[in-house]
Amino acid sequence: MLQIILSIIIYLIVVVPVGQYVYKIAAGKRTFADPLFDRVDGCIYAVCGIRPQGQMTWKQYAFALVGTNAVMIFLGYAILRLQYIAWLNPNDIGAMEEFLSFNTIISFMTNTNLQHYSGEAGLSYLSQMLVITYMMFVSAATGYAACIAFIRGLAGSSADHVGNFFADLVRITTRVLLPFSIAGGLLLIWQGVPQNFSENLVVNTIEGAKQIIAMGPVASLEIIKHLGTNGGGFIGANSATPIENPTILSDLIELYAMMLLPGSCVVTFGNMVRDRKRDAAIAPAGFAGDSGAAPVKANPAGLMARFFGREGRSMFAAMGIIFLIGLSVCFWAESQGNPVLAQAGLSQSMGSMEGKEVRFGVAQSALFTTVTTSFTTGTVNNMHDTLTPLGGMIPMLHMMLNVVFGGKGVGLMNMIMYAILAVFICGLMIGRTPEYLSKKIEGREMKLTALCIIVHPLLILAFSALAVGTSGGTEGITNPGFHGLSQVLYEYASAAANNGSGFEGLADNTTFWNITTGLAMFFGRYISIVIQLAIAGSLMKKRFVNETIGTLHTDTTSFAVVLAFVVYIFAALTFFPVLALGPIAEHLTL
């Protein structure tokens, strides 16, 4: 418990300054590093023909985002099919099969990084860098750019544009992802993670057998894998192997790397909304109130409001409530061990250690498991297929929710959808037109919000039904009964949430699984982003409304609790039946 508490406290201390830095970049404010990065960005703009001052409507922004990603998908697919060419390919890896190439390129371009291949055996070093590592940067920057545009629309700083996608993509990459990756990569190299172009080593073990030890540019991939909430490992066993994650320090570096930027997006949201309120208070334009400029009391809630902004504070609190509940259940379940072994008289004083590394233990494994699926990263430092039923239900549930911080800003965008739903429900209860961020929520916004919320469970449940109802799907299920269903649900929840982790018991490198999970990843990524940008585009054109005695304040602790309950109620109505047939039923049979 002390390990987990200290890890969370350190995160809360670190996320504030990082969040303030990301906020300044998103808002176009000056930072200490601008003299250097302005020159770097200027060179990129000149080479690519980008006009950073040109602004885009939400439709232009969405078209630029999807179009740019589409071009990279075609180029990446070509590289995977031609990787057999002997260049940066010392291990003589052949071309990747066409359906597996389709799944892989969709996976990494959508920031999912679901792997139906083993990295060290399926990719050349050229593919690891030009496809995998490169797309980890671009896909993460794409998600953050969409989030920033979404926040601009909600903040209502302009009524006709949400920014410039290409400028946002460049600034996030050069000013956040690259410098943080260089610093974090050096720390991982310090801890023993390889970074070279050597061929794999073949060594003699103590037993006299031969063993292959993977080499290559591992550290550079590992850091952006976590920092960009990507998740795909250089090696098939991911961060559970000592090559990718050798020590407890490297484990903490990777843990904080995947938590920093999603939390920073909440700080950015709160501060940008506060800026809009402060500006409106100075020069009113249909807006009354100055909650953003109010003095902050010297208490924990006041300090959070100061650093996160009042709206950011309530959003962070709602996410934190769900995260801590999930973490507590996962840690408790894994600490109890396997009841079957307990009934057999076997001691489990360390908890359930099946599939876990001794150097991490139950505490860091449970924390890593909850973080990687809450922040939709997908990396693993233990095998999720070997978690206890209730312990394995938590990462599955958090991917089904897809709002607990999430990766690359997606969690924040999805949570705001639930915030709009919450104010709509509360408005119905008191007979008042719902408002969010001083904008009326009307029919168009509610239809788009409902559609955005429904798409995610539709993808999970529809594809899961298809898998258990067809021979192509059932042929990949290697575990009978309740656990087999859990594996299917986990696979599609991971794909639709753009997470990428897996229960790994499925024989998923088949045409059926490669195509269906590829489609789930593609639709799960782009449909939601386009709808959310449409909502932002609709709200930013509306006039601000004055606060009255009947206005529902969304910047309070009570609203954070209401928001968490709304998320859980929706999850219960949508996913409880399949969870009851999967992990819950498996738990009751032990």
pLDDT tens sequence across 576-586? 999 999 999 99
Q: CA 173 to CA 491: how far, in whole Å?
A: 30
Q: CA 123 to CA 48: how far, in whole Å?
A: 29
Sign of the C-alpha dihedral computed for residues 537, 540, 546 and 549 taken in this order: positive
Helix extents (H) in 128-284? 134-155, 165-172, 178-190, 218-227, 248-282
Residue 69: HSE in the Cβ half-sphere, 13 Å Cα cutoff: 29
Q: CA 18 to CA 12: how far, in whole Å?
A: 10
Q: CA 417 to CA 397: how far, in whole Å?
A: 18
The ranges of the chain with pLDDT < 50 are: 282-296, 298
DSSP classification of residue 211: E
Q: What's the pLDDT at 400?
A: 94
Q: CA 51 to CA 46: how far, in whole Å?
A: 8
Q: Strand pairing partners for 210?
A: 204
Written as six digits, the tokens of 555 are 């910047």
3-state secondary structure string across 80-100: HHCCCCCCCCCCCCCCCCHHH
Backbone angles phi, psi at 232, to 5 degrees: -70, 130
CA 385 to mean position of chain CA atoms:
20
Give whole-number Cα distances, 92 to 199, 204, 213, in Å: 10, 22, 16
Backbone angles phi, psi at 204, to 5 degrees: -95, 130
| Separation of first and last alpha carbons in the chain | 26
Task: Transcribe 385-437 into DSSP letters.
Answer: GGS-HHHHHHHHHHHHH--SS-STTHHHHHHHHHHHHHHHHHHHHHT---EET
Give whole-number Cα distances, 375 to 98, 170, 256, 360, 463, in Å: 30, 23, 11, 20, 23
Q: What's the pLDDT at 288?
A: 34
Q: What's the pLDDT at 392?
A: 94
Q: Map residue 452 onto helix, strand or coil.
A: helix
**Residue 138 neighbours by CB under 8 Å, 6+ apart:** 69, 72, 109, 169, 173
Q: What's the pLDDT at 565?
A: 94
Give whole-number Cα distances, 294 to 274, 277, 291, 544, in Å: 10, 11, 5, 19
Q: CA 52 to CA 162: how far, in whole Å?
A: 13
DSSP classification of residue 382: B
Q: CA 353 to CA 337: how far, in whole Å?
A: 8
Radius of gyration of the chain (CA): 23
Q: What's the pLDDT at 93?
A: 85
Q: What's the pLDDT at 285?
A: 39
Looking at residue 439, its amino acid is K
- From the CB of residue 494, how many other CB atoms can be counted at a distance below 10 Å? 31
User: Can you give the pTM of this predicted structure?
Assistant: 0.90
Q: What's the pLDDT at 244?
A: 93
Which residue is associated with the tokens 């219960």? Answer: 572
Backbone angles phi, psi at 274, to 5 degrees: -65, -40
For residue range 1-28, what is the model confidence (pLDDT) as tens digits?
888 999 999 999 999 999 999 999 998 8
- Taking the domains of the chain in order of start, what are their residue ranges? 2-261
Q: Which helix (H) or strand (E) holds 444?
A: helix 443-469
Q: What's the pLDDT at 347?
A: 67
Helix extents (H) in 205-247? 218-227
Question: What is the total residue count of the chain?
Answer: 590
Spatial CA neighbour of 369 closest among 410, 326, 407, 409: 326
Q: What's the pLDDT at 247?
A: 94
Q: CA 218 to CA 123: how far, in whole Å?
A: 13
Looking at residue 301, its amino acid is A
Q: CA 376 to CA 239: how far, in whole Å?
A: 15
